[in-house]
Amino acid sequence: MTQAEPQSAFKLVRNEHIDSLNLQVEQYEHRATGSVHYHLAAENNENVFMVALRTVPHDSTGVAHILEHTALCGSEKYPVRDPFFMMLRRSLNTFMNAFTSSDWTAYPFASQNRKDFNNLLEVYMDAVFFSRLDPLDFAQEGHRIEFATPGDTSSELVYKGVVFNEMKGAMSSVTSSLWQTLCTHLFPSTTYHYNSGGDPACIPDLSYEELQEFYQSHYHPSNAIFMTFGDIPAAEHHQRFEELALSRFEKLDQRIQVPAEQRLLQPLRISETYAFDDSGSTDDKTHIVVGWMLGESTDLQQLLEAQLLASVLLDNSASPLQQALEKTSLGQAPSPLGGLEDSMREMVFVCGVEGSEPEHVDAVEALVMEVLTQVAEEGVAPNRLEAVLHQLELHQREISGDSYPYGLQLTLTALGCATHYSDPIAVLNLDPVLEQLQQQIKDPDYIKGLARKLLLENPHRVTLVMTPDRELSQQRQQAEAERLAVIKAGLDNDQTQAVVDLATALSQRQEQKDDESILPKVELSDVPAALPELEASTREIAGFACTSYGQGTNGLVYQQAVAPMPALDRESMQLLPYYSNILTEVGLGDADYLDIQDRQSATCGSINAFTSMRGGADNEQNVSAWLILSAKALLRNQKEQSQLMRDTLENARFDELDRIRELIAQQRARREQSVTGNGHGLAMAAASAGMSPAALLSHELSGLAGIQSTKALDDSLRDDTELEAFAARLQVLHQRSQSMPHQFLIVAEQEQLDGVCDTSASVWSGFSTDDNAACYQPEPFREQRRELWVANTQVNFCATAYPTVALDHPDSPALSVLGGFLRNGYLHRTIREQGGAYGGGASQDSNIGAFRFYSYRDPRLVETLTDFEAAIEWMMSEMHDEDTLEQAILGVIGSLDKPSSPAGEAKQHFHNNLFGRSHELRERFRQRTLDLTLEDLRRVTDTYLRQGQVSTAVITSQSTADSLGSFIEERGLRTLEL
């Protein structure tokens, strides 16, 4: 008699194939707890895991966000202080992180290595379902009070905590403040009313007991959604889920969900302020936005209708509402919030302007309603509706994965519906609804009805006016100081000692050396022996060199026209970021930019121009620079794609002066908003600007100096004479760029490649260039930099940089590994855990020959710069072990081996070769990395950092800068204002 196989802990609920994604989607339910598992089965060895919990906070203390951080600080099976960051360096992961959204918290990772995947699964499952939630971790990650001078109870109290400082940085962003304020009024009763990340003014209200209660009620398998992607069978996942956690749970009799929001009976108008710390004028600094709450995001029909209408209104400059907002004199640029937010239970549509004045609110509101009324009465041209559906189809088919792993992007797409107990499979398989919409848009009244139903006749509308307030930051600081003063005044001797004891205990915990050996790991022996080499073919098309790749692009064609940068003077070089932005945004030949926007939307998924510069592989001072025009399209539109690219290079118009003025204003707005999100990158670019010609150009064109220049340019273009002169310079630059000798890159399905290349050749026939044109070759450049940049921020971004070597130098691998070694062994502890910054580290950039230290959203400044210096001495004076070296090597190898999308890998391979980074060179770098010793790291530390000339750049607020007078003088920092 044959023994029956044991019943699986999961039962199959549904199984569906999605042709457009080439995926088999399987839905399972855990029999004991009711937990759901969606498995996206694919022939892809980059396996993805995600467990998500519905988290619905009812205040702005940041409980879900702080819990996300604290849950990763030690668990039942892995009772070490920092298993998440330890696993980052004991793994070959292609992605590891955790996210807190407005109504869910997710813990995802991805890896191509099966052993590594299983290791990470053990740690993640234990962290989520059996977290220790040590009170000291809550104090470190969430919030605590300490005396400003450690041990001195007569000094003032201060708040500390990683999330506390992270959210101070996040809410320094005007865009974040604008969005949070809008949601507060659009959602008067549900969780979206609150700041899920945490309002710095409310975070100190959260108690440790409340954190525990939230964990017990929310972090249970009955409230969990498991999602996986890749070639590991679902049954294997089920066995592991059961062994690692689920077998220890029973079903929890609760249903955590976001209720439907109460509907507003009439529109609201709200006036609020945001912190404005710049010394410049507050004129034209008001934001005016109009936001509607729409229908359920979990209803696929409603979702696609909302996406259709939003795209019709705002997709590009030819879209009626976008056109009106760009052209109006009521503001400088359309609001960065413009568009559809569909990640919450109920969708939100927003539009408006920035760079306005409060008295324009009536006119802005009237403008928006006028455009909507026009769409509701007159409709939209059928070809525009076809173009919008074309964009939706292309987005559905594209295999992305150049920022997040492709499988993770798919799971995140599906997560919203799963969170709200709806069907996530439907949102992955858009084809049936797209086909239905294709029929519906044939009715001329269809889009008219959507505009009327979703917006014009929808009273759940909020018009928000956000004005700048110079006093707000000071008022917040004063309120925080007064609150702390009251707390201090109320402390008795025992409570005072408790504050001191907590700081001491936390410091001791941060300094202790945990036994990492209890954590699983991969080893160097698990690293693949070599990098795979991508196959490319070379041919001629229309007399030009063409490199082509046959890749699994799911029916998309990617093309690039690539030309060397012409020999330009300094003034012309400053035009590059504006030229590359404007090139694909203006008219072509007899057609104006509005016609071309429609043509682009109907033809391709995107078309854009950009510049790319790198130092030589053997000498960072030998810079090569290229101008690239890039586009992607569905195969059926490939000929039109090629023709659009050629027309762009030959016939771009720089005589649309009002359009150019609008584009520069928009570019300024985007750049000014980039500081709070990318302050560490901007600070590193500023500190490194003296290292090489490419580093200087990066800082001047796209860094802090570039932001400064863009503001000045935008101001100058209000003068018509200046505008005409600027447009004339762009035209000259375009003519010189277009005449440079070109080459082409084409990526498509292997079986389609020959036909695509033949079609491209027919389009480019007769394209004329000058093979003898001189290329850009800057003079070598190296100097020391010392800069302090004043910006609108509540936190600091610090960076130092040292001159080093180019990629193929024998010391480059050691410097690359040194960055991870210093971060893992010293900087993470001192900058993040002890200092309270959201992040910090070090890295080698061989393209510019620079080693950089950095901190991100940092409450400290002077102390952080001191920690950078101390890290160098720590490297030289301490005894280090081989395990720490191996972890740092794994980090570099993991970044080298990290996969991209099929098209992304082809483009990366092409551009590596374009800049002299051949496969052989990259293999040599990889092998040198694997052969490194601790002595190599000490040697490069002593050679380049201990004896090197340091450059410094920091970004801070005006009030902090004012308090650093003697330090600024001592360090010789030049103060600059954004």
Residues 481-505: tens digit of each pLDDT:
999 999 999 999 999 999 999 999 9
Per residue in 25-36, pLDDT (tens digit) is 999 999 999 999
Q: What is the pLDDT of residue 98?
A: 96
Q: In degrees, to the nearest 5, what angle opens at C-alpha 356 toward C-alphas 351 and 360? A: 85
Cα 372 to Cα 351: distance, rounded to the nearest angstrom: 11
Cα 829 to Cα 187: distance, rounded to the nearest angstrom: 39
Q: Which helix (H) or strand (E) holds 762?
A: helix 753-764
Instruction: State yes or no: pLDDT of 201 exceeds 90.
Output: yes
Give me the mean pLDDT over the 460-464 stretch: 98
Cα 191 to Cα 83: distance, rounded to the nearest angstrom: 31
Q: What is the pLDDT of residue 777?
A: 92
Contact partners, residue 220, CB within 8 Å, separation at least 6: 33, 129, 249, 252
**Exposure of 365 in the CB half-sphere (CA atoms within 13 A):** 17
**Residue, of 677 and 711, whose pLDDT is higher:** 711
Cα 266 to Cα 460: distance, rounded to the nearest angstrom: 6
Give me the mean pLDDT over the 509-536 stretch: 88
Pairing of strands 333-334, 346-356: antiparallel
| Most distant CA pair in the chain, distance | 95
How does DSSP classify residue 219? S
Per residue in 659-710, pLDDT (tens digit) is 999 999 999 988 988 888 899 999 999 999 999 999 999 999 999 999 999 9
Give me the mean pLDDT over the 93-114 stretch: 95
Q: What are the tokens at 58?
A: 């009812």
Helix axes 812-822, 882-897, angle to 10 degrees: 110
Token pair 């790291």 is at which residue?
937
Name the 3-class secondary structure at 619: coil
Contact partners, residue 888, CB within 8 Å, separation at least 6: 89, 817, 818, 820, 821, 824
Instruction: State yes or no: pLDDT of 378 exceeds 50.
Output: yes
Cα 398 to Cα 393: distance, rounded to the nearest angstrom: 9
- Do residues 277 and 957 make contact, with C-beta atoms less than 8 angstroms apart? yes
Q: What is the pTM of this model?
A: 0.92
How does DSSP classify residue 645? H
Cα 181 to Cα 171: distance, rounded to the nearest angstrom: 11
Concatenating the DSSP letter of every residue in 659-670 gives HHHHHHHHHHHH
Per residue in 617-635, pLDDT (tens digit) is 999 999 999 999 999 999 9
Contact partners, residue 970, CB within 8 Å, separation at least 6: none
Name the band, by pLDDT with cuts 50, 70 and 90, for residue 5.
low
Q: What are the tokens at 322?
A: 């976008």
Q: Name the nearest CA neighbour of 792 among 961, 922, 602, 913.
A: 961
Instruction: State yes or no: pLDDT of 819 exceeds 50.
Output: yes
Contact partners, residue 200, CB within 8 Å, separation at least 6: 164, 167, 168, 171, 476, 794
Give me the mean pLDDT over the 850-855 stretch: 98
Cα 203 to Cα 90: distance, rounded to the nearest angstrom: 33
Q: What is the pLDDT of residue 4?
A: 47
- Do residues 787 and 571 make contact, with C-beta atoms less than 8 angstroms apart? no
> What backbone torsions phi and psi does residue 465 show, to the nearest 5 degrees?
-110, 115
Token pair 């890896």 is at which residue?
111
Helix, strand, coil distribution of the chain in percent, nearest 5 = 50, 20, 30
Cα 710 to Cα 666: distance, rounded to the nearest angstrom: 10
- Do residues 965 and 958 make contact, with C-beta atoms less than 8 angstroms apart? no
Q: What is the pLDDT of residue 244?
A: 98
Per residue in 242-301, pLDDT (tens digit) is 999 999 999 998 899 999 999 999 999 999 999 998 777 899 999 999 999 999 999 888
**Exposure of 293 in the CB half-sphere (CA atoms within 13 A):** 26
Q: In degrees, to the nearest 5, what angle opens at C-alpha 836 toward C-alphas 969 and 966? A: 10
Q: What is the pLDDT of residue 495?
A: 95
Residues in the chain: 978
Q: What are the tokens at 735?
A: 């003519």
Instruction: State yes or no: pLDDT of 828 exceeds 90.
Output: yes
**Exposure of 582 in the CB half-sphere (CA atoms within 13 A):** 27
Please report the beta strands in 635-750, taking only residues with DSSP state E, as ranges in sequence order: 743-748
Name the band, by pLDDT with cuts 50, 70 and 90, for residue 514.
confident
Cα 56 to Cα 41: distance, rounded to the nearest angstrom: 30
Q: What is the pLDDT of residue 147?
A: 94
Instruction: State yes or no: pLDDT of 1 exceeds 50.
Output: no
Q: What is the pLDDT of residue 19?
A: 87
Q: What is the pLDDT of residue 230?
A: 96
Q: Name the nearest CA neighbour of 704 among 721, 679, 737, 669.
A: 679
Q: What is the pLDDT of residue 2?
A: 44
Cα 929 to Cα 926: distance, rounded to the nearest angstrom: 5
Q: What is the pLDDT of residue 756?
A: 96
At position 837, the amino acid (one-letter code) is A
Name the 3-class secondary structure at 553: coil
Name the band, by pLDDT with cuts 50, 70 and 90, for residue 948.
confident
Per residue in 140-193, pLDDT (tens digit) is 999 999 999 988 999 999 999 999 999 998 888 899 999 999 999 999 999 999
> What backbone torsions phi and psi does residue 816 show, to the nearest 5 degrees?
-65, -45
Give me the mean pLDDT over the 362-378 stretch: 97
Q: What is the pLDDT of residue 6?
A: 66
> What backbone torsions phi and psi does residue 552 show, to the nearest 5 degrees?
-75, 85
Q: Mean of the per-residue pLDDT values for the chain?
A: 94
Per residue in 402-452, pLDDT (tens digit) is 678 999 999 999 999 999 999 999 888 888 888 888 899 999 999 999 999
Q: What is the pLDDT of residue 943?
A: 97
Token pair 């932001």 is at which residue?
707
Instruction: State yes or no: pLDDT of 739 exceeds 80.
Output: yes
Per residue in 202-231, pLDDT (tens digit) is 999 999 999 999 999 999 999 999 999 999
Cα 200 to Cα 663: distance, rounded to the nearest angstrom: 35
Token pair 């993805």 is at which residue?
48
